[in-house]
Amino acid sequence: MMQKILDDVFLLTVPIPYDFGNVNCYLIKGKRGYTVVDTGDYTEEAIAVWQKVISEGLVVEKVVVTHAHTDHIGLAGWFQQQFNVPVWMAAKSYAELNKIRAQFINEKYFNPHALFLVRHGGPLFRKQDNRFHQYKSYQFDPDMVFDENEEIPLGDYSYNTIWTPGHSPDHFSFFNEKNQVLFVGDHILNSINPIVICNGEGDNPLKDYLQALEKLMQCQAKYVLPGHGEPIPDLMARIELMMSHYQKRWNQTYDAINEQGSTAFEVSQQVYGRNLSQERAGSAFYQTITNLTYLESLGQVKIAEKEGKIYFYQNS
């Protein structure tokens, strides 16, 4: 069940009921047990995987999370409460955790960005599907918080904490220079570009994301371990391919804006198509807002409000 990456680093694939179908959880062996990096979501299937591993004698020293998305922190509280395992997370992730907790009413999650999406031409959708926001996933507080450029122990080695926002504003990566090991969470994936989400006016998360990529380009990493999918064999080659894909998407996004102006939802349907699942369509919509916002910051498109909706225009 556990796949060996290095003598002290193992991969455990844990099922999730959406997106990729599973999440990569890493176990780093140390003298006092294993450090778990990311846990999977709070589901019966994920709990069953961890219970089997623990029943075979694995001792968990602590849990460390890359960011506060539910598929990465979902069982952190479960580890803490069931096994008295301490949880470490970034101070920024703790702030996100508290923000998300405040968005639950009677254990039901309400999307605080619903009206923002309507202003960009999307349908009104206030209540979020609980597959993505399990109430139990957020009912804990960390035992230890860290900030950027700190050294934290994962197993018996120290890893530098690198703030890599974009996919999530609180996202962190972890790098050990000696062993050339880099945990990148959802900041870089092997097969697709991760979604970068714009949640409000004035945000420019893609700018933050690209700046964070530059930080990771300084890491001489041989083992690049993402939160989903296969390990990344060549960090620089993967980033170059990602940037090529971004340039293609930016061109498509710009060309999809009609002369009378288009909402982000209209552009999204032009670029990604109309026959998508609700999950895929939502991701495409969010990413389109992000791409248009970034192009506006470069001066390539203009924004105007009309009848309560935001329209984008080519700035030719």
Domains identified in the chain, total number: 1
Residue 50 lies in domain: 2-248
144 lies in some domain:
yes
Is pLDDT above 90 for 67? yes
pLDDT at 130: 59
294 lies in some domain:
no
Question: Which has the closest alpha carbon to 24: 55, 65, 57, 78?
Answer: 65
61 lies in some domain:
yes
Instruction: Place 124 in a pLDDT band, splitting at 50, 70 and 90.
Output: low
55 lies in some domain:
yes
Q: Is 253 helix (H, G, I), strand (E, B) or coil?
A: helix
Q: Count of CB atoms within 10 A of residue 213's CB?
A: 17
262 lies in some domain:
no
**Cβ–Cβ under 8 Å, residues 221 and 180:** yes
pLDDT at 296: 96
Chain centroid, CA 285 distance in Å:
16
What is the identity of the amino acid at 68?
Answer: A
**How many angstroms separate the CA atoms of 79 and 98, rounded?**
19
The per-residue pLDDT for range 249-258, each reduced to its tens digit, is 999 999 999 9
The per-residue pLDDT for range 187-220, each reduced to its tens digit, is 999 999 999 999 888 899 999 999 999 999 999 9
292 lies in some domain:
no
Q: Which of 10-19, 100-109, 118-127, 307-316 has the lowest mean pLDDT?
A: 118-127
Q: Could you give phi then psi for residue 312, rounded to 5 degrees?
A: -110, 145
pLDDT at 226: 98
- What is the average pLDDT across 104-110? 87
Question: Which has the closest alpha carbon to 65: 47, 41, 43, 44?
Answer: 41
pLDDT at 57: 95
Instruction: Place 129 in a pLDDT band, splitting at 50, 70 and 90.
Output: low
269 lies in some domain:
no
* Better pLDDT: 290 or 307: 290
CATH of residue 101's domain is 3.60.15.10
Q: Which of 2-11, 64-73, 101-110, 224-233 has the lowest mean pLDDT?
A: 101-110
Is pLDDT above 60 for 128? no
pLDDT at 202: 85
**Cβ–Cβ under 8 Å, residues 177 and 220:** yes
Q: How high is the mean pLDDT of the chain?
A: 94
Is pLDDT above 60 for 51? yes
**Cβ–Cβ under 8 Å, residues 293 and 253:** no
pLDDT at 278: 79
73 lies in some domain:
yes
pLDDT at 125: 58
**How many angstroms separate the CA atoms of 89 and 143, rounded?**
8
pLDDT at 174: 98
